[in-house]
């Protein structure tokens, strides 16, 4: 195992230091568990998963081998400073406050180190083949969708690390959402209709539905509709068109409620369950998160930093029970709880304000073109998806988010009439 781990690190470092484009593709492949056949998380030393953590360290080390250093892309410095500040603060705070040891704080920070790919992309921006990167994301997303469909056709050939028995879990459906917006850019830019691109987009939407992350699916669909119809060819917001779309939507919903038996009653029951806390999923989440909210209320402003489950602090909050979900502060399906635990209201507010200022560049007239607008629609959904899935603090949100942000940075200065406004 040690030999394989060293080989994995060595190969990643050689790519990171000498072949930036190859390293980025390798990094994305690793995040997909190498298309479901090899999982870097299986590299465990002393009971600690070190595969992905080491990969992120290789990305950081590779930065210092940048040849012919040039000025970094405009607006990328602020993001790099934010990432560095989050990592330093998250590790230092529990140490200074005697919540945990240095080793425990570093181990607990490993998920946040995925932000290293932000820095790597910005530092090596002039060595990245953006068109190849986009084609790669599309290809991976199509591959994921095929795997979802295999569950119904030929489940025996589903890759082992995607096979959940009665379901398929790819890493990650957020790549599918990103690929959908990349296809929508081409559909909107090209003058002639391409039924092939429409077909791929519909196919990927099917994959997103089968992935069963409803918040991501709904927000992607909403963003796609707004991107295609709310902004004209001149990128001006069309109020009248939105009013017409809303009218059509209300009409269609009304017909569905009238003619589909049981739909109205089902919706009413669901809403009532949520409002009166009778929904099983929500009530269970509230129960599991109670000790986290107790902890947040004790450190509202500054949070705790990165807290390992074996730290002495956890003894004050750990509840009785056998669920691993209740043994640690880190939580994947309550994103804002996770942020508040780590950085408090102050740190969370700063992080979201800075990141989303750049994430929303496509909505600013100064930076708006079809490409930046689509990427901003992709990134703005994070604000909503994060309620049920931690996209700001885990790799499934950080990596595709970094790619979308990198595309914005690369295309932020291109104007609508620029002949370079294309992706492929």
H/E run at residue 196 = helix 195-211
Please provide the average confidence, as pLDDT, over all residues in the chain: 84
pLDDT band, residue 419 (cuts 50/70/90): very low
What pLDDT shows up at residue 422? 61
Task: Pick the range with the lowest mean pLDDT from 67-76, 236-245, 257-266, 402-411.
Answer: 257-266
What pLDDT shows up at residue 318? 60
Q: Mean of the pLDDT values across residues 29-49? A: 89
Q: Mean of the pLDDT values across residues 33-56? A: 89
Burial class for 151, CB neighbours closer than 10 Å (0-12, 13-18, 19+)? middle
Q: 257 pLDDT exceeds 80?
A: no
What pLDDT shows up at residue 279? 46
- Name residue 44's beta-bridge partners: 49
Q: 271 pLDDT exceeds 50?
A: no
Q: Mean of the pLDDT values across residues 147-167? A: 88
Sign of CA dihedral 292, 297, 300, 302: negative
Sign of CA dihedral 335, 178, 212, 109: negative
Sign of CA dihedral 56, 57, 60, 66: negative
What pLDDT shows up at residue 416? 56
What pLDDT shows up at residue 421? 52
Q: Mean of the pLDDT values across residues 292-311? A: 88
Task: Pick the range with the lowest mean pLDDT from 129-143, 158-172, 251-265.
Answer: 251-265
Number of neighbours of residue 379 by Cβ within 10 angstroms: 26
Q: Of 216, 196, 184, which is closest to residue 373 (Cα–Cα)?
A: 184
Number of neighbours of residue 62 by Cβ within 10 angstroms: 23
For 148-177, the DSSP string reads HHHHHH-GGGS-TTTB-SSSB--S-HHHHH
Q: Mean of the pLDDT values across residues 189-207? A: 86
What pLDDT shows up at residue 276? 44
What pLDDT shows up at residue 392? 94
The percentage of residues in the chain with a pLDDT greater than 70, rounded to a whole number, is 83
What pLDDT shows up at residue 99? 86
H/E run at residue 45 = strand 44-45
What pLDDT shows up at residue 424? 52
What pLDDT shows up at residue 46? 76
Q: 314 pLDDT exceeds 50?
A: yes
Q: 274 pLDDT exceeds 50?
A: no
């Amino acid at each position: 195992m040690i030999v394989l781990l060293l080989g994995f690190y060595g190969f990643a470092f050689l790519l990171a230091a000498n072949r930036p484009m190859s390293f980025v593709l390798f990094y994305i492949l690793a995040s997909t568990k190498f298309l479901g056949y090899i999982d870097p998380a299986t590299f465990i030393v002393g009971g600690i998963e070190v595969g992905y953590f080491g990969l992120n360290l290789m990305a950081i080390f590779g930065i210092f081998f940048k040849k012919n250093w040039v000025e970094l892309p405009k607006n990328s410095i602020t993001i790099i400073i934010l990432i560095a500040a989050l990592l330093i603060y998250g590790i230092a705070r529990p140490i200074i406050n005697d919540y945990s040891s240095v080793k425990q704080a570093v181990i607990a920070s490993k998920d946040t180190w995925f932000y290293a790919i932000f820095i790597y992309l910005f530092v090596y921006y002039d060595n990245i083949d953006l068109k190849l990167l986009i084609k790669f994301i599309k290809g991976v997303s199509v591959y994921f969708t095929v795997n979802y469909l295999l569950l119904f056709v030929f489940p025996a050939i589903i890759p082992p690390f995607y096979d959940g028995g009665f379901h398929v879990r790819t890493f990650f459906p957020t790549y599918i959402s990103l690929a959908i917006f990349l296809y929508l850019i081409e559909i909107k830019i090209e003058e002639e209709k391409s039924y092939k691109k429409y077909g791929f987009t519909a196919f990927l939407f099917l994959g997103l539905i089968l992935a069963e992350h409803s918040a991501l699916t709904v927000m992607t669909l909403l963003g796609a509709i707004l991107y295609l119809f709310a902004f004209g060819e001149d990128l001006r917001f069309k109020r009248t068109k939105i009013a017409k779309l809303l009218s059509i939507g209300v009409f269609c919903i009304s017909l569905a409620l009238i003619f589909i038996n049981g739909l109205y009653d089902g919706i009413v029951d669901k809403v009532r369950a949520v409002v009166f806390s009778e929904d099983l999923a929500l009530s269970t989440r509230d129960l599991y998160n109670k000790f986290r909210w107790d902890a947040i209320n004790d450190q509202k402003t500054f949070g705790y930093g990165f807290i390992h489950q074996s730290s002495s602090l956890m003894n004050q909050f750990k509840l009785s029970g056998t669920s691993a979900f209740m043994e640690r502060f880190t939580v994947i399906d309550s994103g804002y709880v996770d942020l508040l635990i780590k950085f408090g209201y102050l740190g969370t507010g700063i992080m979201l304000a800075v990141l989303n200022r750049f994430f929303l560049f496509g909505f600013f007239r100064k930076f708006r073109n079809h490409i930046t607008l689509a990427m901003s629609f992709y990134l703005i959904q994070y604000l909503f998806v994060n309620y049920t899935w931690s996209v700001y603090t885990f790799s499934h949100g950080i990596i595709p988010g970094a790619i979308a942000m990198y595309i914005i940075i690369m295309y932020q200065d291109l104007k609508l009439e620029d002949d370079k406004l294309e992706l492929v």
